[in-house]
Amino acid sequence: MNEKILIVEDEFIVANDLKMILKKGNYNVMGIASSATQARTMIAAKRPDWVLLDIILKGNETGIDLARELAAVKIPFLFISANTNQSILEAVKKTGPYGFMVKPFREKDLLVMLDIARYRHKIENQQELKTGEIEQAAPDFGEIIGQSPNLKEVLHKVSLVAPTDTSVLITGESGTGKERIAHALHKNSDRKNKPLVVVNCAALPLSLVESELFGHEKGAFTGANSLRTGKFEQANGGTVFLDEIGELPLDAQVKLLRVLQEKEIERIGGNHTFKVDVRIIAATNRNLEKEVAEGRFRLDLYYRLNVFPIELPPLKNRKDDILLLANHFLLKFNKANGKGITGFSDKAQQQLLQYSWPGNIRELEHLIERSWLLATGHEIDSIELPADSESLGETAPGELSSLEDMERKHIMQALQASGGKVFGSGGAAEMLKIPATTLYSKMKKLGIQQEHY
Ligand SMILES: Nc1ncnc2c1ncn2[C@@H]1O[C@H](COP(=O)(O)OP(=O)(O)OP(=O)(O)O)[C@@H](O)[C@H]1O
Ligand SMILES: [Mg+2]
State the pLDDT at residue 131: 60
- Residue 303, by phi and psi: left (phi above 0), alpha (psi -120 to 50) or beta? alpha
| Mean pLDDT value across residues 370-385 | 89
Give helix 178-187 / helix 149-161 axis angle, nearest 10°: 40
**pLDDT surpassing 80 at residue 338:** no
* Cα gap 420→427, rounded to integer Å: 8
| Mean pLDDT value across residues 153-170 | 93
When divided into structural domains, the chain yields a total of 4
> What is the CA(153)–ligand 1 centre distance, in A?
17
| Mean pLDDT value across residues 185-199 | 95
Of the residues 266, 282, 313, the one at which a domain ends: 313
The verdict on 246 and 286 lying in the same domain is yes
Least confident window among 12-16, 342-346, 414-418: 414-418
* Cα gap 328→336, rounded to integer Å: 12
Q: Are strands 196-200 and 239-243 parallel, antiparallel or unpaired?
A: parallel
> What is the CA(393)–ligand 2 centre distance, in A?
28
Is the CB–ligand 1 distance for residue 452 below 6 Å? no
> What is the CA(285)–ligand 1 centre distance, in A?
12
Relative to the alpha carbon of 359, which ligand is closest? 1
| Mean pLDDT value across residues 407-422 | 84
**pLDDT surpassing 90 at residue 187:** yes
| H or E, element range at 80 | strand 77-81
Of 313, 82, 299, which is closest to residue 177 (Cα–Cα)?
A: 313
Does a structural domain hold residue 138?
no
> What is the CA(179)–ligand 2 centre distance, in A?
5
**pLDDT surpassing 70 at residue 395:** no
The verdict on 191 and 285 lying in the same domain is yes
Domain containing residue 201: CATH number: 3.40.50.300
How big is the CA angle at 195 (ends 193 and 196), to the nearest 5 degrees?
A: 115
Does a structural domain hold residue 271?
yes
pLDDT, one tens digit per residue, over 265-317 is: 888 888 888 899 999 999 999 999 999 999 999 999 999 999 999 999 999 99
Q: Are strands 215-216 and 228-229 parallel, antiparallel or unpaired?
A: antiparallel
Q: Please, are residues 103 and 76 in contact by the beta-carbon 8 Å criterion?
A: no
Q: How far is CA 147 from the centre of its chain?
A: 20
Of 6, 59, 53, 51, which is closest to residue 32 (Cα–Cα)?
A: 6
Domain containing residue 328: CATH number: 1.10.8.60
Question: Which DSSP string corresponds to 206-270?
Answer: GGGHHHHHHEE-TTSSTT--S-EE-HHHHTTTSEEEEETGGGS-HHHHHHHHHHHHH-EE--BT-
State the pLDDT at residue 398: 52
Domain containing residue 426: CATH number: 1.10.10
CA distances from 72 to 55, 119, 358, 403 (A): 18, 21, 58, 73
Domain containing residue 119: CATH number: 3.40.50.2300
* Cα gap 367→329, rounded to integer Å: 10
The verdict on 156 and 285 lying in the same domain is yes
The verdict on 345 and 420 lying in the same domain is no
pLDDT, one tens digit per residue, over 93-117 is: 999 999 999 999 999 999 999 999 9
pLDDT, one tens digit per residue, over 226-259 is: 888 999 999 999 999 999 999 998 888 988 898 8
Does a structural domain hold residue 105?
yes
Of 174, 112, 46, which is closest to residue 451 (Cα–Cα)?
A: 174
Q: Please, are residues 325 and 364 in contact by the beta-carbon 8 Å criterion?
A: yes
State the pLDDT at residue 49: 93
The verdict on 345 and 276 lying in the same domain is no
**pLDDT surpassing 70 at residue 396:** no
What percent of the chain lies above the pLDDT cut of 70? Answer: 93
State the pLDDT at residue 389: 52
State the pLDDT at residue 1: 65
pLDDT, one tens digit per residue, over 136-157 is: 456 778 779 988 899 999 999 9
The verdict on 253 and 269 lying in the same domain is yes
* Buried/exposed 301-322: b ≥16 CB within 10 Å, e otherwise: bbebbeebebebbbbeebeebb
Of the residues 102, 133, 164, the one at which a domain ends: 133
Greatest mean pLDDT range, 118-127, 341-350, 387-396: 341-350
The verdict on 125 and 154 lying in the same domain is no
pLDDT band at 221 (very low <50, low <70, confident <90, very high): confident
Q: How far is CA 179 from the centre of its chain?
A: 12
> What is the CA(181)–ligand 1 centre distance, in A?
8
Is the CB–ligand 1 distance for residue 178 below 6 Å? yes
Does a structural domain hold residue 325?
yes
The verdict on 100 and 179 lying in the same domain is no
Q: Are strands 274-275 and 264-265 parallel, antiparallel or unpaired?
A: antiparallel
Q: What is the rounded average pLDDT for all residues in the chain?
A: 88
pLDDT, one tens digit per residue, over 22-36 is: 999 999 999 999 999
State the pLDDT at residue 182: 97
State the pLDDT at residue 138: 65
pLDDT band at 392 (very low <50, low <70, confident <90, very high): very low
Q: Please, are residues 247 and 291 in contact by the beta-carbon 8 Å criterion?
A: no
* Buried/exposed 341-375: b ≥16 CB within 10 Å, e otherwise: beebeeebbebbeebebbbbbbbbbebbeebbeeb
Does a structural domain hold residue 19?
yes
How big is the CA angle at 177 (ends 171 and 180), to the nearest 5 degrees?
A: 105
Does a structural domain hold residue 390?
no
Residue nearest ligand 1's atom 24 by CA: 174
The verdict on 303 and 326 lying in the same domain is no
* Cα gap 2→28, rounded to integer Å: 6
pTM > 0.85: yes or no: no
Q: Please, are residues 361 and 368 in contact by the beta-carbon 8 Å criterion?
A: no
Residue 138 makes CB contacts below 8 A (sequence gap 6+) with none
Of the residues 313, 348, 374, the one at which a domain ends: 313
Does a structural domain hold residue 330?
yes
Q: Which of 185, 362, 363, 441 to mutate to test the pocket of ligand 1 (most atoms within 8 A of CB)?
A: 362
Q: How many other C-beta atoms can be found within 10 angstroms of the C-beta atom of residue 173?
A: 23
> 3-class DSSP state for residue 317?
helix
pLDDT band at 203 (very low <50, low <70, confident <90, very high): confident
Q: Which of 361, 422, 446, 451 to mutate to test the pocket of ligand 1 (most atoms within 8 A of CB)?
A: 361
Domain that holds residue 172: 149-313
**pLDDT surpassing 70 at residue 400:** no
Is the CB–ligand 1 distance for residue 146 below 6 Å? yes
The verdict on 169 and 306 lying in the same domain is yes
The verdict on 331 and 379 lying in the same domain is yes
Q: Which of 179, 245, 284 to mutate to test the pocket of ligand 1 (most atoms within 8 A of CB)?
A: 179
CA distances from 85 to 36, 89, 90, 104 (A): 21, 6, 9, 16
Does a structural domain hold residue 144?
no
The verdict on 27 and 111 lying in the same domain is yes
Relative to the alpha carbon of 367, which ligand is closest? 1
Reduced 3-state DSSP string for 324-379: HHHHHHHHHHHHHHCCCCCEECHHHHHHHHHCCCCCHHHHHHHHHHHHHHHCCCCE
Is the CB–ligand 1 distance for residue 296 below 6 Å? no
